[in-house]
Structure 1
């Protein structure tokens, strides 16, 4: 096959082609609907899962990246070549209709809850509607791409719940809640499956925290959500920058870190378990203690092996013996000039266990920062929050009909029916999904309830371009 007709010769163009950003079987579905079908309505929900509430985030990234560019004749040709060779029918006429009548922009309307909203599961979060009889099937064709919003939502959701956990221990043991945004640092860049995952998942975590070493996640938050700088980091050692000095010169490697980065107000993180953590803690507390004090900065020790709770407490006790501590207003001890960052074996369970163990030992939560990697960005999947996108209504001729599934083998997969929206009670903040009467383009609300969903995309145009600061504000307002 010649390159000019080979659909595989340009992966960059393939990834940016919405016709190919789907599942194979979607290509045949336009032939499977009732012949009188003229419009379609689909929705996205979390059907439950690990957490009872989800933090909605990430749709704006997907829309900007994939839906704000038009379909072109070249994209159609590329897709036709692929599906023909792949064994699927191809709706060339339908895609060319989109180019000719909409200048290539997809005639779909997407409505969603405002990003940063924390919504109980089993509620509609996104709706997708296409009312052009020629291409009504678009509302389902986009499922594959739009369903990937499960990933940033799930990362943001887990991170939000962890923020609540850490906040609770700070409120119990600390005099300073301003440190909360930097208590859970993203170490996940090397633990994800792709650069795109690092960008999407990394930005989702930053809805709740402001510390990250996942560069692509910070860049994505800045780029897609109009943020000058979404997160920050500090100079930190890795094992190679310590072990390259040799075991006999480990103290020199430590001293170099303080000399190069230690200054008033600065934070310097040094991994200290390359050989013998306890010997290293002895060095920090004796030979290098004065250098740490003279620097005017804060030394953060990273123990990177062993049982997390045991090692954190042993490290804090050793540092307390050397540097001392101060009792705060909550009666807990805060280390002087030093802190600990735990980046090994960090997950929701170990964070809770470490904070509880520290509190029992009389240490304030001030003394710890967590670095979370694979468990933050990779050890989740679509079933963590049981996400699904389903068709819930179809127009046959001029009349809308409910569509739903209700398998006797799994009632948990029962889908909702009708043209759906999400309501919130003006007084209680309670959410509920409802099917509302529609008159023209207006939707009615009842009593104390008002509609939450807003139209964010319509026929190629992004209608809501929310700032990251607004997303954060909305998410943090739901912590109570």
Structure 2
């Protein structure tokens, strides 16, 4: 929205007063972002580059300062007009900060620093704090990428156990159906792209746009023709089989894949009678793979029963690992899908002797919306400030919740070059820079400077991000 493009207003109200609250003599501050635990024990870092290009690449102007000054005056908050005028005049409106982070796609255990933000101009030491609200929204793409990555590990485990082509199928086993269930097109784009770090199937078009605009990816994912209930039920119940035949006529070609929702009335009758008898030979003769989509009921039981009925109608082959692979047909389950139900479905069908080849999944709300900042307990905190020429530790340690204890000091993230383990390390207060961090034997710096004084230092491609995420496995 054009009315929301002023960076100085992309903050919380109380941030406008914080420049008055630091100790006298403060001339530098240092902040960090971490996941303090949560549902998953490791996170997939993604989304910072899009945030930086979207919000920090455009210089602030005197007009932005004017607008912010007037709004905060009416709102009842003080505003650092002089400080922001200085940024415009001295730095051309580009913020004097340095952001270091792990390369996007990195899979990092929780309780480690993922990125740091520090001031680079003594007269603008308060800028990193002002950006907390905007920068902490990194929690969203990281959390989506993390949920998706962990789901991928589950699916991979079952594919490797039951399929002859695990790696070939894996990228298309979890499809994003979440666009309509999020709060905005921006959320769909950011969250949808985060999912595509791990998979290559989506119906979230805005995710493709974001990957292209911010990560140099011409086409990040793919989809197939698929029916919805209205395109089936508009034919009337008495013409249900005609609706299915139309899907075959329109889209079923040799080598093609077409998905048909089939539970508008009775999924089991539709498979037994319409797909398994009336249309059976047409499906076979088409040369396409027809994917039947149930969309109601208990996902675990329904998927299993649909496979059994399709097996009766179309038969199966037995692969090299001894599991059944259906001929001509598959099943995709998109209703009630989350990481827990994915595992439950795969356990059920594997026990019944069916390969994971036979099923795909779609996630909507559980992928892009049924999460919040506390899913992975994200926080952005100040850990150091230079006051009177001396660096001091800044931290909180609430007696009522030790889980909210924050880190202290200037820090970076290290990674063992052989074993891949991570550890967050701090530098001594007297150190001139982070280059003086103590590095235990075998450890290298896992962070790089990605943004400095208005300039993007590293510009990752989507392919690089995917490669890093896929290199880490449970």
- With normalisation by structure 1, the TM-score equals 0.96
Aligned equivalents of 2:194 and 2:464: distance in 1? 14
Contact 1:38 1:131 in 2 (8 A): no
Structure 1 counterpart of 2:118: 129
Q: Aligned residue for 1:76?
A: 65
Distance 1:251 1:131 in 2: 68
Does 2:359 correspond to 1:368?
yes
Residue in structure 1 matching 2:255, options 235, 255, 265: 265
CA deviation map 1:164-183 (0-9, x unaligned):
00000001111111100000
Compute the displacement of 1:446 (Å): 4.1
CA distance in 2, matches of 1:157, 1:321: 38
Q: Distance in 1 between matches of 2:441 and 2:432?
A: 18
Kindly indicate whether residue 337 of structure 2 is the aligned counterpart of residue 346 of structure 1.
Answer: yes
Instruction: Report the equivalent of 1:5.
Output: none
Answering whether residue 58 of structure 2 is matched by residue 58 of structure 1, we say: no
Q: What SS class does the counterpart of residue 89 from structure 1 fall into?
A: coil
Supply the RMSD in Å over aligned alpha carbons: 1.0
> 1:326 aligns to what SS in structure 2?
strand
Q: Is 1:475–2:469 an aligned residue pair?
A: yes
Instruction: Give the corresponding residue for 2:219.
Output: 229
Change (3 A) 1:156 1:441: closer
Superposed displacement of residue 441, structure 1: 6.9
Deviations 1:256-275, CA, capped at 9 Å, x for gaps: 10011000110000000111
* 2:387 corresponds to 1:396: yes
Unaligned runs of 5+ in 1: 1-10
1:460 aligns with 2:451: no
1:41-83 per-residue CA deviation (whole Å, 9 max, x = no partner) reads 0000000000000000000010000001101011111111110
Q: Shift of residue 447 of structure 1?
A: 2.5
In structure 2, relative to structure 1, the CA distance for the partners of 1:441 and 1:309 (3 Å cut) is closer
Alpha-carbon distance between aligned partners in 2 of 1:443 and 1:247, rounded to the nearest angstrom = 73
Find the residue that maps to 1:19 and give its secondary structure: helix
Distance across 1 between alignment mates of 2:203 and 2:442: 45
Give the conservation status (yes or no) of the 8 Å contact 2:410–2:434: no
Deviation at 1:290, TM superposition (A): 1.1
Instruction: Pick one of 100, 104, 122 that aligns with 2:93.
Output: 104
* 1:433 paired residue number: 424
1:7 equivalent in structure 2? none
The residue aligned with 1:448 is 442
CA distance in 1, matches of 2:182, 2:114: 26
**Structure 2: 5+ residue stretches without partners:** none
Q: Is the 8 A contact 1:227 1:467 kept in 2?
A: yes
Give, in whole Å, the separation in 2 of the partners of 1:132 and 1:310.
61
From 201, 206, 210, give the equivalent of 2:191.
201
Question: What secondary structure does 2:124 align onto?
Answer: coil
* Aligned mates of 2:416, 2:282 — CA distance in 1: 58
CA distance in 1, matches of 2:388, 2:6: 31
Alpha-carbon distance between aligned partners in 1 of 2:193 and 2:56, rounded to the nearest angstrom: 20
Q: Which runs of structure 2 are paired with 1:174-253 in the superposition (5 Å)?
A: 174-177=163-166, 178-253=168-243
Q: 1:274 aligns with which of 257, 264, 275?
A: 264
Displacement over 3 Å in runs of 4+? 437-446
| Secondary structure of 1:157 counterpart | helix
**Deviation (angstroms), 1:443:** 3.9
Would you say how many aligned residue pairs link Structure 1 and Structure 2?
Answer: 469
Secondary structure, aligned partner of 1:78: helix
